[in-house]
Chain A
Amino acid sequence: MATAIQGTMTPEEFREITTRIEQEVGRIIVGQKDIVRYVMVSIISGGHVLLEGVPGLGKTALVRTLAEVLELRFSRIQFTPDLMPADIVGTNILLEDQHGGRQFRFQPGPIFANLVLADEINRATPKTQSALLEAMQERTVTVSNQTYRVERPFFVLATQNPIDMEGTYPLPEAQLDRFFFKLQVDFPKEEELMEILGRTTGGDKPKLSKIADGQKVMAMGELARHIPVAPHVQNYVARIVLSTHPDSDSAPAFVKQYVRFGSSPRGAQAIMLSSKIVALMDGRFNVAFEDIRTVAHYALRHRLILNFEGEAEGIDADKVIDEILKTVPEDKRSK
């Protein structure tokens, strides 16, 4: 009996869409090509992204542009200390009908969108931050014992400011783990900055084309999941993630010295899935070691918890990941 796999996307179509999205977003966002690419990878994979960068680097503009190009519903939540969970997920409100009857009706919050921008997420209280947890992981929201499913595709893009940390609530590890990628937005270079000035202070506002819709994005994700991965490549991912654990035998000395907790299996999943998407975007039909090395930083940097010594010596997670990539051989049985 034939096994039918329903597919809605060919690899060529996949590549064409991603290329066009990058081009279209590039009309608004100057530079930041990696950020654009890996935010797109996250969206295709159905994951969430934590963007870290100083204000004014175009984080909000990027998400807004992507929403527009992908024809997705967009909402933005500005996280502040007084933001309440209900402000995110929504609440039941009392309504009176024409006959004088009263009933509660659920008023969805801004979480009910395809693309949610959680701006400066670390400024809200943990209670409010955790309101995002269920929606991010389960794609459902529960209010007054009533569960509501959020619309697919659902993508949360949270930002946080690495400076001005006073009065902020750093995200708990459990919540951090729910982010597919953590991307760091760097300050634009000189040419890029000049281009930004030219685009944003002129009179012309480019009109964006809609490249894809939610269905296509989900089909792209589905297609990417079928990219074959050779066992030795998969093994490389496993060994990398195991090496982030200081208790592991395969952990390099650097990890043992500076890391308190390593990545969860979600880190390995993120690497694998994003590598598949990257391979397809690259026009290949299989995952390469190179793909894994490319996405390892984005998928692991927020999943490593440094110990006191690491913090004190100013070691950052990226440096630890660099060491791991240097130490772990691609193929342990290579001849």
Chain B
Amino acid sequence: MSERETTHFGYQQVPVEEKAGRVREVFDSVASRYDLMNDLMSLGIHRLWKRHAVALAGVRRGQRVLDLAAGTGDLAERFSGIVGSQGQVVMSDINAAMLSRGRERLTNLGRVGNLQYALANAERLPFVSEHFDCVTIGFGLRNVTHKEWAIQEMFRVLRPGGRALILEFSHPTSKAFSRVYDLYSFNVLPVLGRMVTNDAESYRYLAESIRMHPDQETLRGMMESAGFERCDYFNLTGGVVAIHRGYKL
């Protein structure tokens, strides 16, 4: 009898085929208050991180952008305003609750016309190759079971000259700051989660999944392995978050 292949779900090891379902449960649970919780957890700084990611993406009018793990659409909303009516922004998420929340939010804001929505698994994207000028994934890669597959898919759907950006929690660069951050993540975060979404476990998973996510150099190596060139990364807030960028040349 062969042993079942496992992967991490926070600090736990779970069968590979179960991870997507468990991640879905986490996001189903927090979807309704996702934005509020993000604001509380990051003291609103997540908006600045996303703004920086958009600036690094350098998207132009008329371009096609794919935003994976789009959540409630913070990045897609900005891209939509830049690419204009000649461009296209596809907002994608594996979680139906999050995607529908995002769609509702953007429609209510009047962002229609160049925005499309796709319920899709980042590991197997339902798009033709070499279609997008820019692919982004914001705070989503660490929840993907096979990260390398997702990065390869990002590479596949990019047109030559296109770039991919991965905005994700990462590893603080200073040891002292790292200790403070751990204290916050494992003590304050679950309490906030319990207060706001009545779900401490989901936020404990969040803190654990961040620790299990590859560090800056490892992730850059993964991007290079997938074929990306000129890969670099930008640490924000002392490395709490990093933006990795690579080009398909």
The answer to whether A and B interact is: no
Q: Which residues of B contact A (CB under 8 A)?
A: none
